[in-house]
Amino acid sequence: MKVEPVAWREGVVAILDQTQLPERVVIEEFDDWRGVAEAICAMKVRGAPAIGIAAAYGLALAARQIQANTIDAFRAVFGEVCAAFAQTRPTAVNLFGAIERLQRVVAQSHTPDEARERLLSEARAIQREDYEADHAMAERGAALLPPNARVMTICNTGALATGGIGTALGVIRVAYEQGKLQRVYACETRPRLQGLKLTAWELLQEGVPFEVIADGAAGTLMAQGKVDAVLAGADRIAANGDTANKIGTYTLAVLAHYHRIPFYIVAPETTIDPATPDGASIPIEYRDSTEITHLGGLQIAPTGAPALNPAFDVTPASLITAIVTEKGVYRTPYRFGLPVAR
């Protein structure tokens, strides 16, 4: 089954509702941009690159809904829609990169009709480029793994999270196709369980040997010598290489460092944010405490128990063995900063 988290279908944005996986495969079609923005907030579509693609198509959809006769009137409303999409999720920088790209298109357009047409082409280009980047980084990442590799991963970084085969999970898929991969340990990834629900769903379809583990089991498997590499995705990579990713990634990096296991971040260049100097400057999303206190809609904590729910953490660059993108394999010291104006 071809996994496509977001698609443009004759004037509607189709989103594979990831909150219903693995039980049901439901594709929801949106003919109003507000529905797309809500789908991002509710994590029906998630994963940094897929969020960027969904926002891009959402903006292309909004362009068709905007009633404006002049480009100035169009730009004013389009700006408000961009601001609404920028509010959906704060950490994944691909969202903001996509919004900026589409805003540039509108700035360069002369009529609303020209903008509408060019916005859709640009959204399609963002999806296509992500597809191509995934394949390139998968090849580079697979080359870093030893024969018969046993790798640990977190969250879901597969086709569900991107425009292609995924980032860290794309590496896993290609390494498996190359006969280099023995086994995957997929951290369940509390509280939203993207590892248990989504990564397991994808790995089953690919026939890749894996086991889901409780997040707390990662250290003991490393201590037992069962892990050759940790592969994680990224939601934002700061100029100095500090990387925000799903909560629990930092814990894996510390454990990997202690056990002398290579820790790799796999992400497209669109996840690098040269304007953010370091991890401390990355905005971290805090989500509703019910994601902790409830499981599948059922309350599991005692009534009144407070919960704190940071959705992401920051892994310092010093703990990252290499950052793999479609353009290269970067190692410390990472210098992704904006070029200095002379």
CA atoms within 13 A on the CB side of 262: 18
Q: How far is the CB of 263 from ligand MRU (least distance, A)?
A: 14
Q: Any contact of residue 47 with ligand MRU (CB under 6 A)?
A: yes
Q: Which residue is nearest to ligand MRU (CB)?
A: 233
Q: Any contact of residue 235 with ligand MRU (CB under 6 A)?
A: yes
Q: Which of residues 151-170 bind ligand MRU (CB under 6 A)?
A: 155, 157, 161-162, 167
CA angle, residues 22, 27, 28, in degrees to nearest 5: 125
Between 82 and 155, whose beta carbon lies closer to ligand MRU? 155
Q: How far apart are CA 339 and CA 337, in angstroms?
A: 6
Q: What share of the chain is helix, strand, coil (3-state, %, to 5)?
A: 45, 20, 35
Binding region for ligand MRU (CB under 6 A) out of 26-34, 46-54, 124-132, 319-327 = 46-54
Of 308, 314, 142, 161, nearest to 238 by C-alpha is 314
Q: How far is the CB of 54 from ligand MRU (least distance, A)?
A: 11
Q: Which two tokens stand for residue 138?
A: 């998968």
Between 109 and 276, whose beta carbon lies closer to ligand MRU? 276
Q: Which two tokens stand for residue 292?
A: 């902790």
Q: Any contact of residue 48 with ligand MRU (CB under 6 A)?
A: yes
Whose tokens are 């993207």? That residue is 194
Q: Any contact of residue 119 with ligand MRU (CB under 6 A)?
A: no
Number of chain residues interacting with ligand MRU (CB under 6 A): 17
Between 227 and 247, whose beta carbon lies closer to ligand MRU? 247
Q: Which of 194, 199, 240, 325 binds ligand MRU (CB under 6 A)?
A: 194
Q: Any contact of residue 311 with ligand MRU (CB under 6 A)?
A: yes
Q: Which two tokens stand for residue 275?
A: 């304007």
Q: Which of 163, 164, 233, 262 binds ligand MRU (CB under 6 A)?
A: 233
Please say if 235 is a catalytic residue. Answer: yes
Q: How far is the CB of 198 from ligand MRU (least distance, A)?
A: 8
Angle at which helices 48-65 and 112-143 pack, to 10 degrees? 170
With helix as H, strand as E and coil as C, how does 100-149 read? HHHHHHHHHCCCHHHHHHHHHHHHHHHHHHHHHHHHHHHHHHHHCCCCCE
Between 234 and 239, whose beta carbon lies closer to ligand MRU? 234
Q: Any contact of residue 46 with ligand MRU (CB under 6 A)?
A: yes
Which residue among the candidates 134, 215, 228, 235 is catalytic per the annotation?
A: 235
Q: How far is the CB of 46 from ligand MRU (least distance, A)?
A: 3
Q: How far is the CB of 247 from ligand MRU (least distance, A)?
A: 8
Binding region for ligand MRU (CB under 6 A) out of 75-83, 143-151, 171-179, 230-238 = 230-238
Query: Cα-Cα-Cα-Cα dihedral of 115, 118, 119, 123, to 10°?
Result: 180
Q: Any contact of residue 234 with ligand MRU (CB under 6 A)?
A: yes
- The phi and psi torsions of 185 (rounded to 5 degrees) equal -105, 115
Spell out the alpha helix ranges (H) of the chain. Answer: 33-41, 48-65, 71-86, 93-108, 112-143, 168-177, 194, 200-206, 218-223, 249-258, 290-293
Site residues for ligand MRU per CB under 6 A: 46-49, 92, 155, 157, 161-162, 167, 194, 233-235, 245-246, 311
* Active site residues per annotation: 235
